[in-house]
Structure 1
Amino acid sequence: MAKIVIANDHGAVELAQSFVDYLNKQGYEVNHLGVTSNDSVDYPDMAELACKEYKKGGYEFGIVCCGTGIGISISANKIEGIRCALPQNSYAASMAKKHNNANFIAFGGRIEYPQEPIEILEAFIDADFEGDRHQRRIDKMMALEGTC
């Protein structure tokens, strides 16, 4: 059974729970590290928690959510080895996996998406990394960690 790690702050409690419910119904083992109340927490802490857990191994990918998805995705991308996408639709979610081999996907609980967030997540899950020239680009991208 594939495992997914998910974390969220107070700005995405309902959205994160909808992902947990959906993934459980799809047969995934979900490790939900996020909050379940509207009490304020800091999204960098949630990103760090999920990414550190993911890096222990055994997870297919991770999901992070905050009010907009922006802060938590930026935070996740600060962690070595993480490629967190913040797609605006299914096409972008699919391409995040196909071309960038994203291992995290971010969403905003306060964002009005043009389609259901579950559909965007499905596109990410259903996509496969295409490798080849894209791997070369990912290698270059990851080589930027710790530079400058």
Structure 2
Amino acid sequence: MKIAIGSDHAGFRLKEKIKEFLLSKGYEVLDFGTNSTESTHYPIFAKEVARAIQRKEADFGILICGSGIGMCIVANKFKGIRAALCLNEYMARMSRRHNNANVLCLGDRVLGEELALSIVSAWLSEEFEGGRHQKRLELIQEIEEGMC
């Protein structure tokens, strides 16, 4: 499974930890940057991760900034992207089970490293349940078709 990952300067430290964690679990990681703590702009990296998923170069994406909010806003502008800002394992599990989220957004300034890795692990371990949730995804797709 391929995971596209990206962060701005505020999420760089956590991105590196998550990347190391993913590689240790056997995931292939496509790192879209940033590559330092030098100030930069989160939309640049959210766009690259979202496009990698759209192009089917990656199965899922993980985006990290200071709060996770900015990355989530940008990623959700892209057709077919269902980005979820998760602050705990429950939110991570539900975003996969019920919303079939394909991008996980995290905030380095609001999560400790241990919790962040636990969220990533929970998110990647879940599957979409389908059923009644499938109709909701179809409604989201209809909205996207009409708006994008």
TM-score normalised by length of structure 2: 0.93
SS of 2:26's partner is coil
- Higher mean alpha-carbon deviation, 69-78 vs 38-47, is at 38-47
SS in 1 for 2:147: coil
On the 8 A contact 1:89/1:114 being kept in 2, the answer is: no
Give the drift of 1:26. 0.3
Structure with a larger share of its residues in helix: 2
The aligned residue for residue 135 of structure 1 is: 134
1:8 paired to 2:7: yes
- SS in structure 2 opposite 1:110? coil
* 2:67 equivalent to 1:44: no
Distance 1:9 1:142 in 2: 29
Contact 1:88-1:113 at 8 Å conserved across structures: no
CA distance in 2, matches of 1:140, 1:114: 36
Identity over the aligned pairs, expressed in percent?
A: 39
What is aligned with 1:66? 65
Amino acid at match of 1:147: M
Structure 2: runs of 5+ lacking an equivalent: none
- Write the deviation string for residues 15-63 of structure 1: whole angstroms up to 9, x where unpaired: 1001100000000110111112111111111100111112111422100
Task: Give the aligned partner of residue 24 of structure 1.
Answer: 23
Which runs of at least 4 in structure 1 moved beyond 4 Å after TM superposition? none
Counterpart code for 1:80: K
- Aligned-partner residue type, residue 24 of structure 1: L
1:89 alignment partner in structure 2: 88
Q: Contact (CA 8 Å) 2:14, 2:113: kept in 1 or not?
A: no
Stretches of structure 1 that go unaligned for 5 or more consecutive residues are none
Counterpart CA distance in 1 for 2:114 and 2:25 is 20
Q: Which residue of 2 aligns with 1:54?
A: 53
Corresponding residue number in structure 1 for 2:147: 147
State how far apart, in whole Å, the 1-side matches of 2:78 and 2:40 are: 19
> What do you get for the CA RMSD once the two structures are aligned?
1.7
Q: Kindly report which structure 2 residues correspond to 1:77-116, keeping only aligned pairs within 5 A, or say none.
A: 77-112=76-111, 116=115
Q: Distance in 2 between matches of 1:114 and 1:41?
A: 22
Partners of 2:139 and 2:124 in 1: how far apart?
24
Deviating more after overlay: 130-139 vs 37-46: 37-46
